[in-house]
Copies of this chain bind each other. A is one copy, B any other.
Amino acid sequence: MNTNQFQVIKDARIDAPKGFYATGVHCGIKRKRKDLGMITCTVPAQAAAVYTTNAFRAAPLKVTEESMEKEGILQAVLVNSGNANACTGKKGLADAYQMRADMATQLRVPDHYVGVCSTGIIGESLPMDRIQSGIHELGLQHKQKTKNEDFAEAILTTDTLVKKVQVELSIDDQHIKISGVAKGSGMINPNMATMLGFITSDIKIESVVLQSLLWKATEETFNMITVDGDSSTNDTVIAMASGLANNTSLTPQHKDWHLFVDAFTYVCRELAKKIARDGEGASRLIVATVRNAHSLLMARQISKAIISSNLVKTAIFGADANWGRIMCAIGYGDKNVVPDRVEIKIGDIPLVKEGQPLPFIKKQVAHLLTQETIPIDVDLHLGKEQATAWGCDLTYEYIKINANYRT
């Protein structure tokens, strides 16, 4: 393995890094599909977490945050799908604590070594009897070391695909694995777009270092995707590092720090892209890159304005090279844009230069717009900062999924 690079592993498994075990079961929150999963570690893992900025944080987020605050360590994460345990008041909070306690008992670890996540319907209490028997089953599987790959499946809601990424790299001559699993913005009846992400690694790293890395990576990846602009009550990303790879503890001073950061960020970015591509009703991934902005904030705001614009999203659905709608989004994305300098390309085809339309070969663009991935490239010619955001098109199917449900 080239020590300056990381390798992408085709068959990703969240339990691939040393020390991790993961599984999933059907406990009966959903009718048929798996709905309860856990990731555990043979040792207390250094952990980090980021949560939704929505003012209505669901109960499990509060419980996980409490766990994390004690020592920055997690040894297990328990996740249910089908019910978000959000807007459920005191009972919801008690239920989240109960889930944590039951899982801790099964694994014989302190309560605060367990994190809990929920995703699904909001405003309904969890069916605690089913969840408790599910946790019991997870405990049994854990004892028997039953191997399966059901965790990635057990956390899904209306996602159409399992989302997994794994990379490997070498640090201090040690073989390091980083693996990630996510669920995306599938709408759950009667609610709501939630994204969950879980990253495991056998890297040796302190919780506080991992936390700063996770924040930075989230800024560039999970926070740069949009399906419909709505941030949910349950969004959570958790990272756990077992330390079993036995490298010298990783810090920003370590010679391979940047390699690890790149690899870790790659995992986050690929998960984020999979979430965007699998947005409700989406038929295409939109990748908007804004170059040469005054600031990183400016680049991020404008790239997010582009992928969030319903007008751009419908134009892409209609395979229409509608540069005017992109211009419009750029213009309200940041007030300091200088119109006469703006360049827009779709793929390699220039559509706008110095703020004015260019003649373009319609057939070529039309062909580009039928592809799976639509790259929109904006050059502001102002500064040196750059950002990329990922989104999806807005389709009849989106309306169908979101309008045809009755609460």
Contacts and interface: CB of A to CB of B under 8 A. Distances in A.
A56 interface: yes
Interface stretch (A104-112, A134-142, A152-160, A313-321): A313-321
Contact of A324 (B191, B311, B398): B191
Contacts of A87: 324, 327, 339, 352, 355-357
Interface string A369-400: 00000000000000000000000001110110
B230 A324 contact: no
Contacts of A314: 398-399, 402-403
Interface in A289-344: 308-311, 314-315, 317-318, 320-325, 327-332, 334-340
A325 B192 contact: yes
Given A317-B399, A402-B315, A56 B330 contact: yes
Nearest to A89: B356
B318 A406 contact: yes
Contacts of A394: 310, 399, 403
A190 B362 CA distance: 14
Contact of A332 (B86, B231, B328, B398): B231
A236 interface: no
B55 A337 contact: yes
Number of copies: 2
Contacts of A278: none
A233 B399 contact: no
A404 to B, nearest CB: 6
A402 B311 contact: yes
Residue of A321, A339, A399 with highest tally of chain B CB at under 10 A: A399
A327 B233 CA distance: 9
B321 A230 contact: no
A316 B236 CA distance: 28
A265 interface: no
Given A87-B355, A190-B320, A399 B403 contact: no
A304 to B, nearest CB: 12
23 contacts: A54-B328, A55-B330, A55-B337, A56-B330, A56-B339, A121-B324, A122-B327, A190-B320, A190-B322, A190-B323, A190-B324, A191-B324, A192-B328, A229-B308, A229-B310, A310-B398, A314-B403, A315-B402, A317-B403, A394-B399, A395-B403, A396-B399, A399-B399
Q: Which 5 pairs between the two chains have the least Cβ-Cβ distance?
A: A318-B403, A191-B324, A56-B331, A314-B402, A54-B331
Given A56-B330, A123-B324, A191-B322, 10 more contacts: A55-B331, A56-B327, A87-B339, A87-B356, A122-B324, A190-B322, A192-B311, A192-B328, A228-B310, A229-B309
